[in-house]
Structure 1
Amino acid sequence: MPAFESRVVAAGPAYEENRAFMLDAIAEMHGLQKRARDASAASGPRFVKRGQLLPRERLTLALDEGAPWLELCSLAGYLRDVSNPAKTVPGCSSIAGIGYVSGVRCMVVVDDAGIAAGSAQPMGGDKMLRLEAIAIKNRLPFIHLVESAGANLLGYKVEDFVIGGGLFANLARLSAAGIPVIALTHGSSTAGGAYMTGLADYVIMVRDRAKAFLAGPPLLKAATGEVATDEELGGAVMHATVSGLAEYLAEDDVDGVRILRELVGNLGWTQGNELPEGPAPALDPEELLGLFPRDHKKPVDMREVIARLVDGSEMMEYKPLYGPQTVCVQAKLFGMQIGIITNNGPLDPAGANKATQFIHACCQNGSPLIYLHNTTGYIVGTESERAGMIKIGAKMIQAVANATVPQLTVMCGASYGAGNYGMCGRGFTPDFAFSWPTARTAVMGAEQAALTMAIVMEDGAKARGLPVDVEGIETMKQKIIQTFESQMSAFYTSGAVLDDGVIDPRDTRNVLGMALSVCLSGRARQVRPLTFGVGRM
Structure 2
Amino acid sequence: MAILRSSLRATDPDFALNAAAYAALREQVSEARHTALAGGGRKACEAHLSRNKLLPRHRINALLDPGTSFLELGQLAGDGMYDGAAPSAGIITGIGMVEGRPCVVMANDATVKGGTYYPLTIKKQIRAQAAARENALPCIYLVDSGGAFLPLQEEIFPDENHFGKIFRNIAEMSSMGIKQVAAVMGACTAGGAYIPAMCDETVIVQGNGTIYLGGPQLVQAATGEVVDAQTLGGADVHTRMSGVADHFAHDDLHALTIVREIIARPGPAASAAPPLAPVAPLYDPSELYGLIPANPKQPIPAREILARLMDGSELSLYRERYGTSLICGTGAIGGYPVGVLINDGVLFSESAQKAANFIELCSQSGIPLLFLHNISGFMVGVSYEQGGIAKDGAKMVNAVSTSRVPKFSVVVGGSYGAGAYAMCGRAFGPRLMAMWPNARTSVMGGEQAATVLALVREEQLARKGQAFTAEEAEAFKQPIRDRYADMSTATHAASRLWVDAVLDPADTRAWLTLGLSLAAASPKQDTRFGVFRM
State the TM-score, normalizing by the size of structure 2: 0.93
- Aligned Cα root-mean-square deviation (Å): 1.8
Residue matched to 2:278: 278
User: 1:328-339, aligned counterparts within 5 Å?
Assistant: 328-339=328-339
Aligned-pair CA distance for 1:448: 0.8
In the other structure, the counterpart of 2:22 is 22
What's the counterpart of residue 116 of structure 1? 113
- Does structure 2 conserve the Cα–Cα contact (< 8 Å) formed by 1:90 and 1:495? no
Q: Is the 8 A contact 2:408 2:430 kept in 1?
A: yes
Equivalent residues in 2 for 1:151-170 (5 A)?
151-153=148-150, 155-162=151-158, 163-170=162-169
2:87 alignment partner, SS class = coil
Say if 1:44 and 1:90 are closer, same or farther in 2 by CA, change over 3 A. Answer: closer
Paired residues for 1:345-424 under 5 Å:
345-424=345-424
Counterpart contact for 2:328–2:342, Cα < 8 Å: yes
Per the TM alignment, residue 335 of structure 1 is displaced from its structure 2 partner at its CA by 1.8
Listed as ranges, the gaps of 5+ residues in structure 2 are: 526-534
| Count of aligned residue pairs for this structure pair | 520
Q: CA deviation at 1:273?
A: 5.1
Q: Do 2:373 and 2:414's aligned partners in 1 also have CA atoms closer than 8 Å?
A: yes
Match of 2:208, SS? coil
Q: Which residue does 2:530 correspond to in 1?
A: none
Output the CA distance in 2 between the equivalents of 1:459 and 1:508: 47
Residue matched to 1:531: none
Unaligned 5+ residue runs, structure 1? 526-537
Bigger shift: 163-172 or 29-38?
A: 29-38
TM-superposed deviation, 1:285: 0.4
Distance in 1, Cα, partners of 2:184 & 2:131: 22
Q: What is the correspondence of 1:461-500 to structure 2 with a 5 Å cutoff?
A: 461-468=461-468, 473-500=473-500
C-alpha distance in structure 2 between counterparts of 1:446 and 1:44, whole Å: 41
Aligned partner letter, 2:118: Q
Q: Is the 8 A contact 2:118 2:152 kept in 1?
A: no
Distance change in 2, residues 1:228/1:184 (3 Å): same
Aligned to 1:145, the other structure's residue is in SS state strand
- The alignment status of 1:45 with 2:85, answered yes or no, reads no
What's the secondary structure of 1:315's corresponding residue? strand
Of the candidates 145, 149, 170, which is equivalent to residue 148 of structure 1? 145
Q: Is the 8 A contact 1:103 1:270 kept in 2?
A: no
6-15 or 485-494: which moved more? 6-15
What SS class does the counterpart of residue 7 from structure 1 fall into? coil
Equivalent residues in 2 for 1:282-293, closer than 5 Å: 282-293=282-293
Kindly indicate whether the alpha-carbon contact (under 8 Å) linking 2:85 and 2:112 is maintained by their aligned counterparts in 1.
no
Question: Closer, same or farther in 2 for the Cα pair 1:90/1:224, shift >3 Å?
Answer: same
**Residue in structure 2 matched with residue 183 of structure 1 by the alignment:** 182
Partner of 1:424: helix, strand, or coil?
Answer: coil
- Contact 1:104–1:269 (8 Å) recurs in 2: no
1:99 to 93, 96, 99: 96
- Aligned pair in 2 of structure 1 residues 150, 267: CA closer, same or farther (>3 Å)? farther
**Structure 1 residue matching 2:89: 3-state secondary structure:** coil
Would the aligned equivalents of 1:149 and 1:188 in 2 still touch at CA under 8 Å?
yes
Separation of aligned partners in 2, 1:102 and 1:351: 46
Q: Could you report, residue by residue, the CA deviation over 1:47-68 in whole angstroms, capped at 9, with x for unpaired residues?
A: 4432222211111110001223
> For 1:234-273, what per-residue CA distance to the aligned partner results, in whole angstroms no more than 9, with x for missing partners?
0111000000011110111111111111111014244645
> Could you say what secondary structure the match of 2:499 adopts?
coil
Contact kept? 1:77, 1:122, Cα under 8 Å: no
Distance verdict in 2 for CA 1:267–1:77, change over 3 Å: farther
**What is the letter of the counterpart of residue 53 of structure 1?**
L
Q: Are 1:58 and 2:59 an aligned pair?
A: yes
CA distance in 2, matches of 1:475, 1:486: 18
Q: 1:118 corresponds to which letter in structure 2? A: G
Bigger shift: residues 505-514 or 39-48: 39-48
For residues 44 and 468 of structure 1, the distance between their equivalents in structure 2, rounded to whole angstroms, comes to: 56
Give 1:470 shift: 5.5
Contact 1:35 1:89 in 2 (8 A): no
**Is the CA contact (8 Å cut-off) linking 2:180 and 2:201 kept in structure 1?**
yes
Q: Secondary structure at the match of 1:434?
A: strand
Instruction: Give the share of equivalent positions with the same residue, in percent.
Output: 38
1:88, CA displacement in angstroms?
Answer: 5.7
Give the secondary structure class of the aligned counterpart of 1:125.
Answer: helix
Whole-angstrom CA distance in 1 between matches of 2:294 and 2:451: 22
Contact 2:272/2:520, CA 8 A, preserved across alignment: no
Further displaced range: 509-518 or 274-283: 274-283
TM-score (normalizing by structure 1): 0.93
Q: Distance in 2 between matches of 1:193 and 1:134?
A: 21
For the residues of structure 1 that align with 2:266 and 2:87, how far apart are their CA atoms? 33
Higher mean alpha-carbon deviation, 329-338 vs 230-239, is at 329-338
Partners of 1:447 and 1:481 within 8 A in 2: yes
Q: Distance in 2 between matches of 1:341 and 1:272?
A: 25
CA 1:34–1:18 in 2, change beyond 3 Å: closer, same or farther? same
Aligned amino acid, residue 244 of structure 2: L
Q: CA deviation at 1:134?
A: 1.2
Partner of 2:222: 223
| C-alpha distance in 1 between matches for 2:466 and 2:125 | 52
Q: Greater CA deviation, 214-223 or 369-378?
A: 214-223
1:11 CA drift (Å): 2.3
Q: Report the counterpart of residue 72 of structure 2 in structure 1.
A: 71
Q: Which amino acid aligns with 2:101?
A: V
Q: Secondary structure in 2 aligned to 1:211? A: coil
Cα distance in 2 between the residues matched to 1:507 and 1:11: 23
In the alignment, the residues of structure 2 paired with residue 99 and residue 486 of structure 1 have an alpha-carbon distance, to the nearest angstrom, of: 33
Tell me which amino acid in the other structure corresponds to 1:328.
C
Q: Is the 8 A contact 1:78 1:88 kept in 2?
A: no
Q: Secondary structure at the match of 1:6?
A: coil
Are residue 325 (structure 1) and residue 288 (structure 2) matched? Answer: no
Alignment correspondent of 2:34: 34
CA–CA separation in structure 1 for the residues paired with 2:49 and 2:434 = 36
- Structure 2 counterparts to residues 124-143 of structure 1, below 5 A: 124-143=121-140
Could you say what secondary structure the match of 1:212 adopts?
coil
Q: Is the 8 A contact 2:118 2:156 kept in 1?
A: no
Cα deviation for residue 524 of structure 1 reads 5.4
Question: Shift of the alpha carbon at 1:233?
Answer: 0.8
